[in-house]
Amino acid sequence: MTVVLVINSGSSSLKYQLIDMATESTLASGLIERIGGERAAIAHRAAGEKHEREAVIVDHDAAFVAMLRNFAEHGPSLDDHAPAAVGHRVVQGGRRFFGPTVVDDAVEGDIEELIPLAPLHNGPNLAGIRAARRVFDDIPHVAVFDTAFHTTMSDASSLYAIDREVAEKYRIRKYGAHGTSHKYVSEATAEHLGRPLEEVRTVVMHIGNGASVCAVDGGRSVETSMGMTPLEGLVMGSRSGDIDPAVLFHLHRKAGYDVPALDRLLNRESGLLGLTGTNDVRDVTRRIAEGDEIAETGMAVYVHRLRHYLGSYLVALGGADAIAWTAGVGENSAEVRRRTLEGLEWLGIELDHERNETRADGIREISTDASRVRVLIVPTNEELEIARQSLEATGLAG
């Protein structure tokens, strides 16, 4: 049995999943939250049971000790299911990492060097890698970058129209994000259609609390809506997405907003939350049904931006074979999918309303049988994709 341990390390959290690669099934998963806080919440799922406790977890090293204790107490035993590799999610790979990379000290150094481009993410990702390498010191560790899938984008789609020297000096360009999910979903879509990946053009709608659209042509990302950071693009749970940059000058001059205040406003207090007071599409949808006009307007702005990107990416691809919805909103909100695809029959996009409203597990089609563009729901699985890429990078894949 080949087993891979997948690690997603945030600033105050550690998520893990142990995956059996023969069946691509999860043997155990866990989440340790509030690392460095007064009491950390520790959860471990294995064999259909959830085990929870609280403890003081001072740093990522301590979090790994807690994870090992979870496996020892609740199983499966890591002696019987020893991981062949550890796969780590890393958000920013810059123009340095184009695919999954086996970690050594030099790679750690390069990830550290990229911290200024993703200050909230790469530091915690690296802390997780360092702690994991201390605990599992005799197996390969692989860094899987969220940006890597988008390194196929052309200069035309990834350069910003600012002074070239300034852009180069400060490495300002579109890197995109959610790449691991966009790759997984576009490949699963081609497989579902029963067509070679090279021939399939897909618009992937990864719509969760964070959200991005990606135009995938023959397995290659050609456009994506997140930018140098995850702030650009769609209206998200609490991020504004696209905005006239002069709004920031205005808020600074007229209202005295400094950089931390602007950062907080656009990243944490905007999007659906800013527009409606809640970042959860379920609440917004319920309020719309009750006749709440603020919720209706918020949803209208949200959907308008989705349609803007969908239209743009259909042009970029010269038409599409499929539109694939994924992540929390994409997989679950019939309302968002219906509003986004409404009136697009002239483009060959025909939603089957009954299929769209029917809840089910797994990959499924929600377009009519006559629809030229197939519309799918494809549950994403970033952990599995990280595990697959980790095995590939170590040469352990079959």
Which active-site residues does the annotation give?
146
3-state secondary structure of 165: helix
Q: Which is nearer to ligand AMP, 17 or 279 (CB)?
A: 279
Nearer to ligand AMP, 237 or 274 (CB): 237
Residues in region 169-228 near ligand AMP by CB under 6 A: 208-210
Q: How far is the CB of 184 from ligand AMP (least distance, A)?
A: 13
Q: With binding defined as CB under 6 A, does residue 267 bind ligand AMP?
A: no
Minimum distance from CB of 209 to ligand AMP (Å)?
4
Identity of the residue numbered 271: G
**Terminal alpha carbon distance of the chain:** 12
In whole angstroms, the minimum distance from the beta carbon of 141 to ligand AMP comes to 26
Q: How far is CA 111 from CA 119, 191, 350, 357, in A?
A: 11, 33, 44, 43
C-alpha 127/C-alpha 236 separation (Å) is: 27
Residue 255: CB minimum distance to ligand AMP, A? 29
Q: What are phi and psi of 194, to 5 degrees?
A: 70, 30
Should residue 281 be labelled a site residue for ligand AMP when binding is judged by CB under 6 A? yes
* DSSP one-letter string for 173-230: S---S-HHHHHHHHHHHHHHHTS-GGG-EEEEEEESSSEEEEEEETTEEEEES--SST
CB of 272 to ligand AMP, least distance (A): 8
DSSP state of 7: E
Q: Which two tokens stand for residue 27?
A: 């043997």
The residue (of 158 and 212) whose beta carbon lies closer to ligand AMP is: 212
> Using H for helix, E for strand and C for coil, what is the string for 40-101?
EEEEEEECCEEEEEEECCCCHHHHHHHHHHHHHHHCCCCCCCCCCEEEEEECCCCCCCCCCE
# residues contacting ligand AMP (CB under 6 A): 13
Rule CB under 6 A: say whether 110 interacts with ligand AMP.
Answer: no
Q: Closest separation between CB of residue 379 and ligand AMP, Å?
A: 10
* 226-245 binders of ligand AMP (CB under 6 A): 237
Contacts of residue 14, defined as CB under 8 A and 6 or more positions apart, other chains included, come to: 7, 8, 31, 32, 35, 60, 63, 64, 67, 128
DSSP string, 231-268: TSSS--SS---S--THHHHHHHHHH---HHHHHHHHHH
List, in order, residues 6 or more apart from 264 with CB less than 8 Å away. Answer: none
Restricted to residues 316-355, the positions that interact with ligand AMP (CB under 6 A) are 327-329, 332-333
Strand partners, 27: none
Does position 282 interact with ligand AMP (CB under 6 A)? The reply is yes
Q: Which C-beta is closer to ligand AMP: that of 280 or that of 352?
A: 280
For 388, the 3-state DSSP assignment is helix
Residue number, 205 or 314, with CB nearest to ligand AMP: 205
CB of 396 to ligand AMP, least distance (A): 30
Residue closer to ligand AMP, measured from CB, 122 or 212: 212
Residue nearest to ligand AMP (CB): 328
Distance (Å, whole) CA 247 – CA 254: 10
* Cβ nearer to ligand AMP, comparing 288 with 391: 288
For ligand AMP, the binding residues (CB under 6 A) are 208-210, 237, 279-282, 327-329, 332-333
